[in-house]
Amino acid sequence: MAPHETSSTPLEQGGPRTQLTDLLKRRRAELGVGVGKIAERSVDPETGKDVKRGRIWRLEGNEEGGITPPDFWELRALAAGYELPLERLQDAAGSQFHGRDPLRSGSGEAVAYVRKLDSLPPDQRERLLSLIDSLVPPHPGDAG
């Protein structure tokens, strides 16, 4: 599958996407703390704004009805409160609220390579792609 292609998602299959909700609930259980403790720690280090207990409760899916997507400052605050990397929260929120699935790799190396790829000039990127294609021929439908 090409990097920009996605497999069918639970939403497309008729079910709701719950990646952020699931991540938050699972992490709080791992930490063994209540929502109140998470709320105390969920303070955005840049703005000083805090995420309220009720908002956390709703983000964890404990209330009927829709959840509004968190703002970026809220994700920073939640990263502090749940002791998670901001990027994991961004990936989960992007998946749940915008149907955007992050690039995944079994080893994690592919993600590191993609991040470095952006720093290469276009001619070097093209040469690198040619090298990769010579080692692993592209599949039909791959972008390239």
For residue 92, give its domain range.
19-98
Q: How far apart are CA 25 and CA 3, in angstroms?
A: 29
In a domain, 50, yes or no: yes
CB 31 within 8 A of CB 78: no
Number of domains in the chain: 2
Looking at the fold, whether 116 and 78 belong to one and the same domain comes out as: no
pLDDT, one tens digit per residue, over 43-61 is 999 999 999 999 999 999 8
Q: Which domain CATH number covers 37?
A: 1.10.260.40
The structure tokens listed for 95 are: 């998946």
pTM of the model: 0.65
Please list the rounded mean pLDDT of every run of 10 residues in the chain (144 residues).
Answer: 38 70 95 97 97 95 82 97 94 89 64 74 86 80 56
Percent share of the chain, pLDDT over 70: 75
* Residue in the structure block whose two tokens are 């959840």: 67
Residue 16 confidence (pLDDT): 80
* Dihedral sign for Cα atoms in the order 30, 80, 95, 58: positive
